[in-house]
A and B are shown apart, each in its own frame.
Chain A
Amino acid sequence: MDINKDLIAASSTPIVLAILAEGDSYGYAILKRVRELSSGRMTWTDGMLYPVLHRLERQGHVKATWRVADSGRRRKYYRITPAGRDQLVQERRQWQAVDATLRGIWKSLALPDAPAPGIMLPQGT
C-alpha cells in the first residue's frame, strides 16, 4: 500500500517530534523507528527526512548537536525542545480531530477494503 505524498509530508512533523519525545535520536535511527512503528507501510525517501529535521530546528522545535557515535564517526543528534513538546501537543490534537472525523464516517460506510477490527474478511486471491 502506498501512502500518498501529501499525507507523508503532513504527518512528518508529528511523527518526528513524537519519536524524539521518546529520546534523543539521529536521522538513520528515526527512519528505522518509523519503519518499525508503521510495520513498513510508511516509506520515506531517506534523504527527505533531513530537510524536515532542519526545518524543525529552525523553528526551534528541536536542537541539534554533533557527537561522536560508537562507530567513531561524528553524528548529528536531535533533541526535542520545550517548544517542540508544545507543538507536539497541538499536532496531536489536530490529528486526533482528523482521525475522529474519519472514524465517524468509516463507521457509517461499509467499505470493502477496510475490515472492521476483529472481523476477518476473506482477502482477494
Chain B
Amino acid sequence: MPLSEPTSIVERQIDQWRGYLRRRQAIHAVDIAELEDHLREQIAALAEAGLADDEAFLVAVKRMGDLNALSREFAREHAERLWKQLVVVSGEAVESPVRIRTDAIVAFGLAVAAAVAIKAPVFFGMPFDDAGAGFYARNLSLFVLPFLTGYFVWKRRLDVRTLGGLAAAFVAAAVIVNVWPFAPPGKTGGLADTETLTVLHLPIALWLIVGLAYAGGRWRQVAGRMDFIRFTGELVIYYVLIALGGGVLTALTALIFQAIGIDVEPSLSWLIPCGAAGAVVVASWLVEAKQSVVENMAPVLTRLFTPLFAALLVAFLAALVGTGHGIDIARNVLIAFDLVLVVVLGLLLYAISARDPSSPPGLFDVLQVVLVISALLADAVALWAIAARISEFGFTPNRVAALGENVILLVNLLWSAMVYVRFLRGRGSFASLERWQTDYLYVYAGWATLVVVAFPPAFGYI
C-alpha cells in the first residue's frame, strides 16, 4: 500500500531527527534542509516499494549514516563553522573536563615561565634600564614566543622532530640578533637604525614559527593557515583587553599605596614587563579555550570599520583630485602609507576569515573591493611621489625596509583585488582568495627574516 503523503507519525519522527542535527555545530540549517529533502525522497521511494512509513523512515535514516561520522565530515569541510566552538585538530569531538583543567595548568605554568624569563637576565648582570634597552628590545620576542610555541607543541602533541626544528629556529634567531655588532646608541640614546629594524621584524619572522606549532600537522592546508590567521586576530583583541585591565590595576595600585605613603614605582618595573610577557600566553590560552565566549570579535570589528575606512580613503582621493594638492613627502609619509595598507589588509583578511565561502557575493564584498582599490590608488600616488624624488633621499635602511614592505603589501592587495573582482563577477571561487592570502604568509615571514638577517651586515650595522 503505497502512501504518497507521509503520516503525522513520520512527520514527528522527521522533526525529531532534525532536532538531533540542529545540535551539531558543523551542520547549518541550510544543510539540514538539504539533508531533509533527501530523507523525504528516500522515505517516499521506500514507501513506494511497499514499506510501511515508519519502516521506511528507519531505513532512510540508517542509509543517511551515523550522525557523528556525518557531522565530522561536515566539520572537516566547513572548518570555519567550528572555529566558534573549538578547533578540530586532533579529531576528538569534545575535550574532557580533566583535559581542560590540565590545559589551564600548563598554560599558566608557561605564562609564569615567560614572566620569569623576561626578568632573568637581571640576575646575570643585564640591567633593566636604558643601558640594557637594546638587549631587551632585540630579545623581547625570544623571551615570550618559545613558551607560547611550547604550549602549542604540548597541546597539539607534536612529535620530537618538529619540536627540534622549532627549537633550532629560535636558537638561530637568538644567535643572530645577539652577535650582530650593532653601532652603540647615538648621543640621543636611540638605537641604531638596523637594530630598530631587527627589533621590529624579528617578532614577525618568529610568529611564523608559532604558526607552525599552532597549526600542527595542518599547516600545509589552507584551512590550517586560515585558522592561524583567525587565531592571530583574536589574540590581539584579547591581549588589548588584558592590557587595559592591567593598566587599570596598575594605576589603582599606585594610587592607593600612595595614600599610605608607599612608593610602588620599583615594584612596577617588575609588574609591568612580567605581566606583559605572561599575558601573551594567557591570552592565547583564552583564545583556544574560550572561543565561544567572545564570539569572534575580529570579524565584528571588521564589519564595523570596513565601511568607515573605505569612506576615509575615498574622501582622501576626492580631496587629492579636487584640491590638486601634491603629497607632501615628509619623513614618515612612506610609513604612514604602509600603515594604511596594513590596516586595509587586516580588514580584508578578517573579512575573508569570517566569510562563509559558499555564500554568493553581496554588498559587503563590493565595499571590500572599494576599500582595497581606493587604498591601492592612494598608495600608488604616494609611491609615485616618492619614486620621483628617491635620488634626493638616498637609500637608508629604514627607507629600503619601508619601501620593501610597501611593495609587498601592494602586490598582495593588487592580486587580491583582481581575484575579488573575478569572484564578484562569478568567474572565480572564493577559495582562491583564501589560498592567495594564506600562501602569502610566507612572503611576510620571508621578508622579515631578510630584514633581520641581511640588513644589519648590508648597511654596516648603523
Interface range for A:
20 to 34
B432 touches A58 (CB 8 A): no
Q: Which of A21-70 contact B (CB under 8 A)?
A: 26-28, 45-48, 50-51, 54-55, 57-60, 64, 69
B38 touches A58 (CB 8 A): no
A28 touches B37 (CB 8 A): yes
For B73, the chain A residues whose CB sits under 8 A away are: 47-48, 51
CB distance from B434 to the nearest CB of A (A): 9
Is A73 interfacial (CB 8 A cutoff)? Answer: yes
Is B65 interfacial (CB 8 A cutoff)? Answer: yes
Give the residue of B34, B63, B76, B77 whose beta carbon is less than 8 angstroms from that of A45: B63
C-alpha gap A26/B42 in the complex (Å): 13
Is A75 interfacial (CB 8 A cutoff)? Answer: yes
Is A74 interfacial (CB 8 A cutoff)? Answer: yes
For A93, the chain B residues whose CB sits under 8 A away are: none
C-alpha gap A34/B76 in the complex (Å): 24
Is B78 interfacial (CB 8 A cutoff)? Answer: yes
B358 touches A45 (CB 8 A): no
For B41, the chain A residues whose CB sits under 8 A away are: 28, 71
CB distance from A36 to the nearest CB of B (A): 13
For A26, the chain B residues whose CB sits under 8 A away are: 37
Give the residue of B63, B431, B432 whose beta carbon is less than 8 angstroms from that of A46: B63
A51 touches B428 (CB 8 A): no
CB distance from A107 to the nearest CB of B (A): 38
CB distance from B149 to the nearest CB of A (A): 31
B37 touches A73 (CB 8 A): yes
B40 touches A73 (CB 8 A): yes
C-alpha gap A64/B33 in the complex (Å): 14
B34 touches A50 (CB 8 A): yes
Evaluate whether A48 and B37 lie within 8 angstroms (CB atoms) in the complex, with A58-B357, A58-B358, A60-B428 already known: no
C-alpha gap A57/B30 in the complex (Å): 14
Give the residue of B77, B431, B432 whose beta carbon is less than 8 angstroms from that of A51: B77
Evaluate whether A46 and B65 lie within 8 angstroms (CB atoms) in the complex, with A51-B74, A54-B78, A58-B358 already known: yes
CB distance from A80 to the nearest CB of B (A): 13
B63 touches A76 (CB 8 A): no
C-alpha gap A46/B38 in the complex (Å): 9
- The digit string for B284-314, where 1 denotes a CB below 8 A from any CB of A, is 0000000000000000000000000000000
Residue of B nearest to A69 (CB): B37
For B454, the chain A residues whose CB sits under 8 A away are: none
A28 touches B74 (CB 8 A): no
C-alpha gap A43/B112 in the complex (Å): 55
For B78, the chain A residues whose CB sits under 8 A away are: 54
Is B70 interfacial (CB 8 A cutoff)? Answer: yes
A60 touches B429 (CB 8 A): yes
C-alpha gap A83/B78 in the complex (Å): 21
C-alpha gap A86/B452 in the complex (Å): 44
C-alpha gap A97/B378 in the complex (Å): 52
A58 touches B77 (CB 8 A): yes
Is B249 interfacial (CB 8 A cutoff)? Answer: no
Residue of A nearest to B423 (CB): A60
Is B64 interfacial (CB 8 A cutoff)? Answer: yes
- The digit string for B57-74, where 1 denotes a CB below 8 A from any CB of A, is 000000111100110011
Q: Which of B351-398 contact A (CB under 8 A)?
A: 357-358
CB distance from A24 to the nearest CB of B (A): 15
Q: Which of A28, A51, A57 has the most chain B CB within a 10 Å cutoff?
A: A51
A48 touches B65 (CB 8 A): yes
For A45, the chain B residues whose CB sits under 8 A away are: 63-66, 69-70
Q: Which of B41, B70, B432 has the most chain A CB within a 10 Å cutoff?
A: B41
C-alpha gap A54/B26 in the complex (Å): 13
A46 touches B37 (CB 8 A): no
C-alpha gap A50/B432 in the complex (Å): 21
Is B93 interfacial (CB 8 A cutoff)? Answer: no
Is B35 interfacial (CB 8 A cutoff)? Answer: yes
CB distance from B292 to the nearest CB of A (A): 23
C-alpha gap A47/B26 in the complex (Å): 14
For B428, the chain A residues whose CB sits under 8 A away are: 60
A64 touches B358 (CB 8 A): yes
A59 touches B65 (CB 8 A): no
Give the residue of B34, B63, B429, B431 whose beta carbon is less than 8 angstroms from that of A27: B34
Evaluate whether A74 and B33 lie within 8 angstroms (CB atoms) in the complex, with A46-B42, A48-B70, A59-B431 already known: yes
CB distance from B362 to the nearest CB of A (A): 16
A-B contact pairs, 9 of them (CB 8 A): A46-B42, A46-B63, A50-B74, A51-B73, A51-B76, A51-B77, A57-B358, A60-B428, A76-B37
In the complex, given contacts A27-B34, A48-B70, A60-B432, what are 19 additional A-B residue pairs having Cβ atoms less than 8 angstroms apart? A28-B41, A45-B70, A46-B42, A46-B64, A47-B65, A47-B70, A47-B73, A48-B69, A51-B73, A51-B74, A54-B31, A58-B358, A58-B429, A58-B430, A59-B429, A59-B431, A60-B428, A60-B429, A71-B40
Nearest 3 CB-CB pairings of A with B: A60-B429, A45-B65, A51-B73
